[in-house]
Every structure is written in structure tokens, then in C-alpha cells.
Amino acid sequence: MEDNIQNICTECQEKTKILYKYRDGFFTPKLKGINHLEVGYSWVISNPVTIFIEYLYVVWKRIRRLIRRLSNWLFPRRPHIHAGRLDSYITGRIIHADHKETTSPIHHIKLEFWGRTKWYLGFQWRKLGETESNNYGIFHLDYTLRQARNFKTGSLRLEIHQPFEVHYNGDKPSTSHRLYHSIPLIKTNLIGMGYYVHTLALPLWEYRKDTPLPRTFHSKDSHLISEVFSQGRIDAFKQQVIPIELTKRKHMFQIEKEPGMLSIADIQADYPENLTICLEKKLPGYSRSDEWFGIRMMNGMNMGSFQPDKHDASLYHIRYFGICNYDHNTKFALPDADIVFRIDSAGPPKPVSITFTGQLNAYNNDPWQKHTYTPSSGDEWLQAKRLARVCGSVVAEVDDHFAGTHVNTEQYAIAAFRNFRKNPVTWLLYPHLKEVSVINVSADNILIHGFLPSNTALTEKGVKDRVYDAMGTQNWKGWKPMKVINDSHTYAIAENLFWDITGKFVDFFFEKYEAGIKEHWNEVYSFSNDLVNHSVAVFQSQVITDMLSTEERERSRERFEYACFRYAYDPINSVKIVDGERKVVSPITLTENFQHEEDFRNLKSACRYAIMMATFSHTWINEHQYDDLGEILYNCGGLRFGDKQRGVMAPESDLSIAPDLTRSTQMLWFTNLLSRTEYGFITKNEEQDIHPYFIQLLNENKETFAKLGVDIESIESRTNI
């Protein structure tokens, strides 16, 4: 019987596996772009006339590309410098626009000085000089005055080039640069020995000022863009998302015109079958069983952390903290849930009780009311498991998915892209940290502003405050994967294996480039400063506890204790105080030049952690969303209180507590979108930017991962959805 269940589960996992099919045709609708996604109506082009106009636009873009290529051929920018005696110079300083001049230079950035001949001499480019800024952002570019002032020269410009992409040719890395900004210089201003262009404050990888989170400011000026998606990522996304978008649009249209003609069952049937629906068809009732509940709590999207019970060694707790003190609406339930499991030396966890703290119906709004359910509670046990799943999903999406992987990875990305240019760590980190800052802009719109406030109990303010708190226990120092409880704990086994592989890869890289890493230590120093100074305060360390009630203080303490356990966080490692705030992230080094071997180990640990978060940790939660949140009545972002005394403790057949039609299609659209539009995988290495040793290590462990239900081909190299 057990083997049969296992076979059916495997069959369903295979059947509902995420596929990446790229289908396209001339008159098929097209998405305008990733940043035009909306929880309501995304910007889709479907009218044949608009499609034709869009086609003309695409043709025009192709022609423009051809013209540029022709122009590059006619007017090549040869790297050779046209100079005689270097008798003059341009000097200045480049700083980040977000900081005080003395503290935030843009160091080691490439500058080039170009001249262009007059039209009757063919607009030819002449490279007149090049340099890079020093540790303090100061640059000194030598050139030949006579060359620049030559009557043939029509125009002059100073260009700033940012390192942009890393490529591997075999195991040989290289960094390509792209033009970030150019400043026209007037020829007649170049007189005498030197020309001072003053201090240039640029928004290159600038921190946002409108949020306490370490987020990237994206300039609207197309000439000052810090990061864009790769073309491959944009193309893959647009094509994969269209069928899902059209399904949602159809539902939204029906809801607007004839809501009575649409049901939750219709909506469900229009989206691809997910894991639990497939299971229900083959094994009715199994997806609602205790066994499945235990399996998914252990190895599903939420990959719960089992905190040992303080009194009984065979019992463990998974804890979800709900609305707490966050701003919330009164439509949806989101109580705290304490789920107790018995876990034997073999087999999945067996749930023994679920205790909710908080409001379960529209009439009793006491936030401290407690309700406990056990397997002997009859139908209420089924209802309690459903509510626990829902609480778990909200916590997983906000705390683990968005804060723990997206924002957490972004804080390493900004600090890395601001600082690593000459240090070999550039080749290690860039491929894994790219694109997260741009996908997070979309997440702000569709997740934080759109989906979560309308589908869960939390308001937008509530979500933002919660994300800040959730970041307060995310630190590289001391982090380790979850402890394996028994052989059924496949998530933890896979997580440990991936962590070991990442460690081997990072060790290998640091051994190979040790000299270069130590030589350019000042970049590590500024990386560490940016990372730490912009990290959030330790979890609720800014809260004045005297203002809290006894219950609130106790919950805050328990929540912190559970978060420390789940995220392997030890507050002793958060040592830096900035403006009275104890920063959560630990410094990597305190010296501008390399001095301590321990700092070298710190850097290794921080890189290993950042890669882990950006790859395995994000992939896991992202790709399992459709498994666990792909059936409306099984799980969702929020159960409505409804108008009955029993509130959310009602059967699935009571549709008054289920998401309404709009929210149902939005949820399936959203989870489909996130789980099915991934692009950029480690082993596929679509952009030739992954170190071959990392790929080799994963391939060597392919079979072991497969036995744990992990397909290594689907592990993303970066967080970009």
C-alpha cells in the first residue's frame, strides 16, 4: 500500500512537473513586458492591428540594431589610444549619489576619453585616453592636448563604463563592461595642463531612500540604469506567461459581465492541474490526510522547521505567527498556529494537535483567544489543517520567499555590484546576484502592493513592516542548513547536500584566486561596510517593550526564539551599532587592507550564504508554490471569516469562506506565474556565466538529488522571478 501511494505521488509529481515550452506565433497575444504585469489586467497586446503595429516596432528595433552594427563597422571604436606625449589630464571624482561625499566613492570604475572627427572626415572615433577611479573615486586621465584640440576633432566625451556581465570560457572568467554614462566635453574648455570635471554624483547602484530595507534605487533616466534583465530572460518570460495571463483575463471579464456563469470549479479547471488535484483524482481523500499534511509541512513549499518540544523528545512544533501587531484588514483570518507533530525514527511527521491563537470568526475579535484541535476533533480537524496550511502559506510567502530570499539576496547584490570590480569575487558573485534587484521592482507592484493586501489579512503597510521584521534574523554568520530529523526529511537532506556542494565550490574558487582576493581587499572592506550599514536592525530591537502588553511581549519573545531556530541566527553575531541601531548583518572585515585570515574565512562564508539564498533556497520555495498553492479549496492566501458563527472552521464546501472568484483566479495566476516562468538554471548555463566546477559538482550528485525528489536541471542560478 505504502509503495502504491509513493508511486502515485511520483506519477503526479511527474505529470504536474513544470515545463518550459516556448510557443510563439505571429498573431498570438503578447505581453508588453515583465514590468507591465498586474494582478488585475496585465498589459497584453491581443488586437491584430496592435499586434501588427507591435510587429512593425519590432522590425524597426531590428533595423535600428542593424544600423548600429553598420555604424560600429563604419565607425569602429578601436581600443588603441591615439596619443603622443601625454601632456594634459582630466581629473575629478565619482561618488554614489546617495551618500556623503567622503564616505561613498565609486571606486575602480573604468573611464574612457573619446573624440569624434568632424562629419567631412567621416565621424571616426578616436580613443584619447583611459583610466579608472582609485579607492577614493578620484580619477586622473592622461591624454595629449594636441590630439583633443586637433581641428579634425568635432566632439569629445568622457565615458563611464560599468562591469556588467561575467562569462566563462572553460574555467577562464572575464568581465564585460557596458557604457553607463557619458559626459560631453567642450573642446575649447581644454586648455593648459589639466581639466577638472568636479565631483560626479551618479545613481549607480544607489540605495533607495524611501524604505528602511536595503533596496536598489532604479533611475527612470534610461542613461543611468544600474541593471536590466538579460534578453533571454525577457523572451522566456513573455512567452511562458501569456497562456496564464489570457486565462486570468477571461475570468476577470466573465466576473465583470456575468459572474453567475462562473464558479470556483470552472476557474480551477481552466488552470493546469497541480499536484494535489492530481493526487485527489487517483487517491481520493489522501491530499487531506494526516500523512500528506505531515509530508508537505516537512518537504513542501513551506519546508517547516521542527522545533523540539521542551518536555517530550518525540514531539516537535512548527509555529506560524499570524497578524501579530501588523496592520491588517477584517476580512481574512490569520491567527498564530502552533502545530505539534510526533516524529519517529522513520516516516513522515504525524500531526497530534493544532492550536490557533487569534480571531476565527467575524464576531469574536479577541486576539488572544485559543482553540486547540486534535485528530479526534472530527470534521474540525480537517478544517484546522486547512487553516494551518493557509497560515503557513502567508508566512512562507512573506517571511521566507520575499524577505528571506528576494530581499535578502538583493542586499548582497547591491553591496556586491557597488563594490566588486577588480576583486576576483566579482566572477563568483555577479552571476548569482544579477537580476534580483529588477525582479524585486515587479514584486513590489504585483506582490506587495497587489496580491498580498487583497488576498490575505495583511495590508500593504502590514506586509512591509513584516518584511522588515523578517529581515531582522537574516545573517550570513553562523547560518547552516536545517538539521535532518529522519530519512523522510528529504528537504533537509537535499538542502544539506546543496550547502556542501556550494561550500566545495566556494572553497575551490577562493583557493584558486586567493592572491587576487587579498590584493583587492579594499573592495571587500567597502562591500562589508555597505552590507552591514544598510542591513535592518535586529528583530524588534527598536521596539520599546514597555509599550507592549504581557501577551505581546511573550509572543515577541517566542517569535524571536523560533526565528533564531529557523534561520540559524544567533544575535551574538550582530555586533555593529549604526545610529543607535544594532545591525543584523555581521561585518566581514574591519580593515581596508588584508590582515586577518579569519576575515578571509568570513568572506567565504558570506559568499557561500549569498549563493545558497539566491539559488537553492529561492528555487525551492518558488517552484513548489504551484504544488501547494495550486488548488483553491486546499490552500490559499486567506480564508474569509464569512457571516456564520463558526467562521473559518467550516468545510471546504462552504464557499463563503473560500477566496471569491476574483481572488481565486488571481491566486492561480500568481502561483502559476511564479512557478512556471523560471529561466536561468545552473546546469543549463544559458548565459555561459556559471563556473564549470559548480556545474560539475551538481552533475556528480544528480542521482542522489533525484532520489530526494530534486531535479538539478531546475535549480536556478539566480533569483529572477
C-alpha cell at 542: 527598536
Q: Label residue 529 exposed, middle or buried (CB < 10 Å: 0-12, 13-18, 19+).
A: buried
Mention every residue, 6+ apart, whose C-beta is less than 8 A from residue 48. 27
Task: Give whichever of 204 and 613 is closer to Fe ion, judged by the CB atom.
Answer: 613
* Cα 475 from Cα 532, distance rounded (Å): 10
Q: How far is the CB of 714 from Fe ion (least distance, A)?
A: 14
- Residues 621-640 contacting Fe ion, CB under 5 A: 622
One DSSP character per residue, 184-218 reads EE-GGG--SSEEEEEEEEE-TTPBPSS-SS--B--
Near Fe ion by CB under 5 A, which window of 157-165, 169-177, 206-214, 618-626?
A: 618-626
Task: Give whichever of 435 and 631 is closer to Fe ion, judged by the CB atom.
Answer: 435
Q: By CB under 5 A, is residue 677 in contact with Fe ion?
A: no
Torsion of CA 268, 271, 273, 275, to 10 degrees: -80
Near Fe ion by CB under 5 A, which window of 97-105, 274-282, 544-552, 617-625?
A: 617-625
* Cα 384 from Cα 564, distance rounded (Å): 26
Q: By CB under 5 A, is residue 619 in contact with Fe ion?
A: no
Task: Give whichever of 528 and 622 is closer to Fe ion, judged by the CB atom.
Answer: 622
352 φψ region: left (φ > 0), alpha (ψ -120 to 50), beta (else): alpha
Near Fe ion by CB under 5 A, which window of 56-64, 616-624, 657-665, 696-704?
A: 616-624
Which H or E run contains 45? Answer: strand 44-45
* Cα 204 from Cα 220, distance rounded (Å): 12
Q: How far is the CB of 232 from Fe ion (least distance, A)?
A: 18
Q: How far is the CB of 64 from Fe ion (least distance, A)?
A: 33
Task: Give whichever of 389 and 618 is closer to Fe ion, judged by the CB atom.
Answer: 618
Task: Give whichever of 361 and 440 is closer to Fe ion, judged by the CB atom.
Answer: 440
Task: Give whichever of 574 and 622 is closer to Fe ion, judged by the CB atom.
Answer: 622
Q: Considering only CA atoms, which of 486, 490, 495, 492 is closest in space to residue 343? A: 486
* Cα 364 from Cα 333, distance rounded (Å): 12
Q: Considering only CA atoms, which of 300, 698, 703 is closest in space to residue 500? A: 698
Task: Give whichever of 419 and 622 is closer to Fe ion, judged by the CB atom.
Answer: 622
* Cα 245 from Cα 251, distance rounded (Å): 10
Residue 632: CA atoms inside 13 Å, Cβ hemisphere, count?
A: 29
- Residues 11-70 contacting Fe ion, CB under 5 A: none
* Cα 162 from Cα 219, distance rounded (Å): 15
| Amino acid in position 317 | H
Q: How far is the CB of 614 from Fe ion (least distance, A)?
A: 11
219 φψ region: left (φ > 0), alpha (ψ -120 to 50), beta (else): beta
Task: Give whichever of 88 and 409 is closer to Fe ion, judged by the CB atom.
Answer: 409
Residue showing the smallest CB distance to Fe ion in the complex? 622
Q: 598: how many CB neighbours lie within 10 A of its CB?
A: 10
Q: How far is the CB of 639 from Fe ion (least distance, A)?
A: 24
Torsion of CA 160, 164, 169, 173, to 10 degrees: 80
Task: Give whichever of 383 and 440 is closer to Fe ion, judged by the CB atom.
Answer: 440
Task: Give whichever of 506 and 610 is closer to Fe ion, judged by the CB atom.
Answer: 610
Q: How far is the CB of 233 from Fe ion (least distance, A)?
A: 13
Q: Considering only CA atoms, which of 416, 419, 409 is closest in space to residue 718? A: 409
Mention every residue, 6+ apart, whose C-beta is less than 8 A from residue 75. 116, 122, 123, 124, 125
* Cα 150 from Cα 431, distance rounded (Å): 43
| Crossing angle of helices 408-419 and 436-443, rounded to 10° | 140
- Extract the runs of DSSP E, i.e. beta strands, from 547-604: 577-578, 581-582
Task: Give whichever of 315 and 447 is closer to Fe ion, judged by the CB atom.
Answer: 447
Task: Give whichever of 88 and 625 is closer to Fe ion, judged by the CB atom.
Answer: 625
Q: How far is the CB of 321 from Fe ion (least distance, A)?
A: 22
Task: Give whichever of 168 and 620 is closer to Fe ion, judged by the CB atom.
Answer: 620
Q: By CB under 5 A, is residue 454 in contact with Fe ion?
A: no
| Amino acid in position 324 | C
Maximum Cα–Cα distance across the chain: 94
Near Fe ion by CB under 5 A, which window of 49-57, 112-120, 496-504, 614-622?
A: 614-622
Q: Considering only CA atoms, which of 631, 637, 678, 673 is closest in space to residue 274? A: 631
Q: Considering only CA atoms, which of 552, 529, 551, 528 is closest in space to residue 540? A: 552
Site string for Fe ion, 535-574 (x = CB under 5 A): ----------------------------------------
Q: How far is the CB of 675 from Fe ion (least distance, A)?
A: 9
Near Fe ion by CB under 5 A, which window of 341-349, 603-611, 620-628, 630-638?
A: 620-628
Q: By CB under 5 A, is residue 717 in contact with Fe ion?
A: no
Q: How far is the CB of 679 from Fe ion (least distance, A)?
A: 12
Q: How far is the CB of 393 from Fe ion (least distance, A)?
A: 14
Task: Give whichever of 556 and 622 is closer to Fe ion, judged by the CB atom.
Answer: 622
Phi/psi at 94 (5° precision): -115, 130
Number of residues that bind Fe ion (CB under 5 A): 1
| Crossing angle of helices 408-419 and 597-612, rounded to 10° | 130
Q: Considering only CA atoms, which of 253, 710, 713, 271 is closest in space to residue 496? A: 710
* Cα 678 from Cα 631, distance rounded (Å): 21
Task: Give whichever of 144 and 720 is closer to Fe ion, judged by the CB atom.
Answer: 720
The residue length of the chain stands at: 721
Q: By CB under 5 A, is residue 287 in contact with Fe ion?
A: no
Task: Give whichever of 131 and 675 is closer to Fe ion, judged by the CB atom.
Answer: 675
* Cα 240 from Cα 625, distance rounded (Å): 16
| Amino acid in position 48 | P
Near Fe ion by CB under 5 A, which window of 83-91, 451-459, 488-496, 615-623?
A: 615-623
Q: How far is the CB of 441 from Fe ion (least distance, A)?
A: 13
Task: Give whichever of 586 and 635 is closer to Fe ion, judged by the CB atom.
Answer: 635
Mention every residue, 6+ apart, whose C-beta is less than 8 A from residue 60. none
Residues that bind Fe ion (CB under 5 A): 622
